[in-house]
Every structure is written in C-alpha cells, then in structure tokens.
Amino acid sequence: MSSSTPVIGLTSYLEPARWGAWELPAALVPEWYVELFRAGGADIVLLPPGTRADVIDRLDGLAMAGGADLDSTLYGQQPHETADVPRTSRDASELALYRRARKLGVPVLGICRGLQVMAVAHGGSLTQHLPEVSDLVHRERPGTFSDHEATFEPGSRLEEVYGTGPTIVNSSHHQAVESAGDLRVTGWAADGTIEACEDAAADFCVGVQWHPEHPERRSADLPLVAAFVAAAQRYRSEHHS
C-alpha cells in the first residue's frame, strides 16, 4: 500500500459460502464495495466479524457495509417475525469498531446496515418492518433494489454532495432507523423514512440507507465516497504521517 494513500477498514459478512470444492463459513463482502472505495482513492482492508476494536488505531477510516438485520435486543425490542437470525459476533464487533472510531475521530461512512449500527450506537432504535408502516417500496423482495426519492437538510454534508433534493436513491432494506439517538437526521424518503444521519461536529461521520456500492450508483455517489476518502486522507496526514 502506498504510504500516502488512506487505508479504509471495511466491515465484512460472516456467512455460509461455496467456492471450488469448499462449502464453509466465510468472511466476505461483495466486490462492489471494494471497487467503490478504490474508485474513491483508498486502499482497503477487510474487517471480519470478531475484529478487535483497537485495529481502528492503525486505520484512516471506517466503512460499515450492509447486511443482515441487527439484533433487536440491542435497542430493547423483541425481534419481529420477519427479522433475520442475529449475527451476534458481527453486531458486537461493528458497534465496538464504530465506538472506537468515534473516540479517535476516525472518519466513518455507514451504508444501509452501517447507518443502523450508527443509530443504535447513539442510543437510537429501528423500525423492524417498513411494510407495516409505509406504502413506499423500499425493497420489493430480498436481493432487489428499489429506486425512490430522498431530500436532504440544508447545510448538511449530504446537501453539499447532492443538493437538497429530491434525489433518486436505491434501497434494498425492510428495516430502517426509527430514532437516530443523538445523531443528526439529514435525509428523508418521501414517506418520512430516515435516509441519512451525520454528526456535524465530526470531520466526517455519515450514514446512508441506500447503496452507493451498486455499480449503477457509481457516478452519482462517488462524490460522497470521495469526500469520505478526503477526510481519511486528512486524518492520515495528522495522525499517521
């Protein structure tokens, strides 16, 4: 890795996988994420579930990928019947990584589940099944993406990148942030679903509910990723030079 290039830690899944002659649990992430952050100018290291929080001390940024639903007991609720089986090791390590990143001032970008991790870490909660509270389609079925509009708060990091909107974003989720705790909500879908949160006091701490890693979103969302990588570069210059 180049000494001048920021190094982003990217959280990963721990799921059953099959390749060649093997069928085993694997720490993995869709290559779309890797392509996205490389396109933004960063080097990437994968952080599998169970990674110790102090790994953050050696990184310049933290990106939290999408994935399965968070364990609802983390925000004091019983699981909805549609909830995924909890990924307890991933939940625990991502919450710890995020809290360590915030303590050190390491830039953070949360994507889909990553935004939800942020909200729960800040004392918030999730809506466990959006179809019960909204007619807007955020995911027609698992494995698909649905486009809809989002608007952004004036003066926010998201407004700097996208304008106030309405802007088309892509969704693939059935849960969403209900309360962001002490994070600032800066983006909404037309039905009021929270689409983005940030901490204005941080150099860069942003979570989005949509999927900038999707190849069809690359040109639209690369400015957001570039802003995140630029913050990671500033952090590297100040702390790892």
Active site residues: 112, 211, 213
Q: Environment class of residue 84 by beta-carbon count within 10 Å: exposed (0-12), middle (13-18) or buried (19+)?
A: middle
Token pair of 226 as six digits: 């570039």
Query: What is the sign, positive or negative, of the torsion defined by CA atoms of 201, 209, 149, 232?
Result: positive
Helix residue ranges per DSSP H, 60-173: 88-104, 113-121, 157-162
- E-assigned strand segments in the chain: 7-11, 13-19, 22-28, 43-47, 61-64, 108-111, 125-127, 146-152, 167-171, 176-179, 184-189, 194-198, 205-208
In contact, 116 and 126? CB cutoff 8 Å: yes
Q: Which phi and psi (to 5°) does residue 170 adopt?
A: -115, 135
In contact, 136 and 191? CB cutoff 8 Å: yes
Q: Can you name the residues that pair with 206 across neighbouring β-strands? A: 109, 198
